[in-house]
Amino acid sequence: QKEVEQDPGPLSVPEGAIVSLNCTYSNSAFQYFMWYRQYSRKGPELLMYTYSSGNKEDGRFTAQVDKSSKYISLFIRDSQPSDSATYLCAMKVTGGGNKLTFGTGTQLKVEL
Amino acid sequence: DTAVSQTPKYLVTQMGNDKSIKCEQNLGHDTMYWYKQDSKKFLKIMFSYNNKELIINETVPNRFSPKSPDKAHLNLHINSLELGDSAVYFCASSNTGGNQPQHFGDGTRLSIL
């Protein structure tokens, strides 16, 4: 069993839909949680970065962390075709050489 | 200006050859990383260097040898390439510290024939 589990999709939604992307993890030592977006043939780019449990909002994106359930989510409101990409969750422990552990990524397609 | 740049973008070579991938960052970061992304998009760390010192060395065959001539550069040399080495290799950089995000390059696509 991987330390971080993520539904690979693909997930296809109509433009304007609310998208929910999720990851579960098994290592309770994870303290920092990130969401990266990766377009085809590009490197991952950081979207959201959270430390504590709760919600963090940035424009159309909301990151949610529930440490008690070992569950994190990324919500995308008013989804656009430009949001079509693979979304990777990542997490790390305090210290540990800044090592990121990634989920397998969810492929999202937003259709017109 | 490209923040983290890798060369080459594509590398096609025969099994058994030796090849190198170069990475440079102009963000002033002190830590650099190599990741491998397989065909299923799973991204896994291989190495990290902080100020030219090896910090993370995951379970990677010793055919892979990273080298950091200075804190802005981290190269990856691979000996005796095997079919299973086909993947996309990403370089990343960050500053030291628990809440410092990592910035990625656009990857080097390695194909072994």
**Tens of pLDDT along A2-21?**
899 998 889 999 999 999 99
Going by the DSSP 8-state scheme, the letter that residue A97 receives in this structure is G
pLDDT of residue B1: 64
Span A80-85, mean pLDDT?
Answer: 97
Provide the percentage of residues in chain B whose pLDDT is more than 70: 97
Residue B100 near chain A (CB below 8 Å): yes
B77 vs A54, residue with greater confidence: B77
Measure CB to CB from residue B43 to each of A32, A88, A94 and give the nearest one: A88
Residue A47 near chain B (CB below 8 Å): no
Q: Are A74 and A12 in contact (CB under 8 A)?
A: no
pLDDT of residue B109: 97
pLDDT at B19 over 80: yes
Task: Tell me the one-letter amino acid at B36.
Answer: K
Across the interface, do B41 and A105 touch by the CB < 8 Å criterion? yes
A with B: how many residue pairs have Cβ under 8 Å apart? 64
> Which is nearest to A104 in space by CA: A47, A12, A21?
A21
Token digits of residue B64: 């892979």
